Each structure stands twice: as C-alpha cells, then as structure tokens.
Amino acid sequence: MKMEKVNRILDALIAIAFIYLIYMLVWPQYTSIKEKNLEAKVKANLYEIRCAVEQYAAYNNGYFPKSVDDFIPYLHEGKFPVNPYTGSPLTKDDIKTHQYIAPTDPKDDSPNGVNGKFRGEPGHIVYAFFIPPGDTLPTAYGLVGFNKNGEPIFYIDPGKKKHIFVLHN
C-alpha cells in the first residue's frame, strides 16, 4: 500500500515536471510571437496613416500636412486606427508631430539617427515632416511607430544590421 502511494506521488511529480518543461519551452516563443503580432498591427496603423497623408498630398499639390488635423479627414471613415497595445482607437494626441531639420532625415533608418531617437507610448506614432528653407509647406515626411518599450519598431536585415522601421515618401 505504501509503495503504491509513493508511486502515485512520483507519477504526479513527473507529470507536473513534464508540464512545467513544456511551459518553459513554449512560453518564450509565445510571448515573442505575441509581441511581433502587436508590432505588425502598429505597422498596419502606420500604413493607414500613410494612406491618409498621401491622399492629403494628392489634393494639395504634392505638399504634405503640417499637423495631424490636416490629414484626419483622409483617414478611413475619418477614424483613427486602434492601438493594439490598449485596444482603444488612437487619438490625435497619440500621434506626435516633429519637424525634421535635414532633407535626408525622413529616410534615416539608423538606430542612432533622428528616427531612432524618438520615444513614445506603446502603439503611438510620430509623424515628422521636412519643410525646405524658404518654403512654408512640407515636401517630405516620415512615420515611426513604437513597440512595448516605447522605442521605435525596428527590423534586422539579412546582414544582421538593425534598422528603424520608417515609412517615408
């Protein structure tokens, strides 16, 4: 009788250890996939904002908006996309604006460059634009989204080099 009890306890412990081992192997992959899905949704939001910005430019002689208010009417049904980290629609306050200094800034995908230095809340977006000297309207723009740490979303190229994910004209 006593040996049967010991065997049952050992069987239960082995089953618990096996389940724990599976958990330890699967959980990191699950969280990594979940984070990549959230980042993909932020990227989709960037593309949606980009469509509104480009549509604004199509109706304004190729010039880009100076503020979020300018392109809101060009969003799908005039509504902001949903922030995947909060589940709530973005607001115009969740999209920060910034004015670039150099004409090459919108395309700068270096982690140490201007777009790599932006910080914000998870799922929020920066819309930055460049106005050439002597002009009053933007001729270039860049869009950057933020991950769960509030840092710009990045990717690693095949050569193992890190790049900021920037949408620009």
The pLDDT of residue 8: 86
Give CA–CA dist 146/120, Å, rounded: 6
pLDDT at 70 over 70: yes
Residues 6+ apart with CB under 8 A from 110: 116, 163, 164
Token pair in block for residue 46:
């960037």
Q: Which residue has the tokens 């304004």?
A: 60
pTM of structure: 0.86
The pLDDT of residue 27: 82
pLDDT at 1 over 70: no
As a whole number, mean pLDDT of residues 103-120 equals 97
Q: What is the largest CA-CA distance in the chain?
A: 94
Q: How many domains would you assign to the chain?
A: 1
Q: Which helix (DSSP H) or strand (DSSP E) does residue 126 occupy?
A: strand 125-130
Range of the domain at 74: 2-168
As a whole number, mean pLDDT of residues 135-161 equals 97
Q: Which residue has the tokens 């840092």?
A: 151
pLDDT at 118 over 90: yes
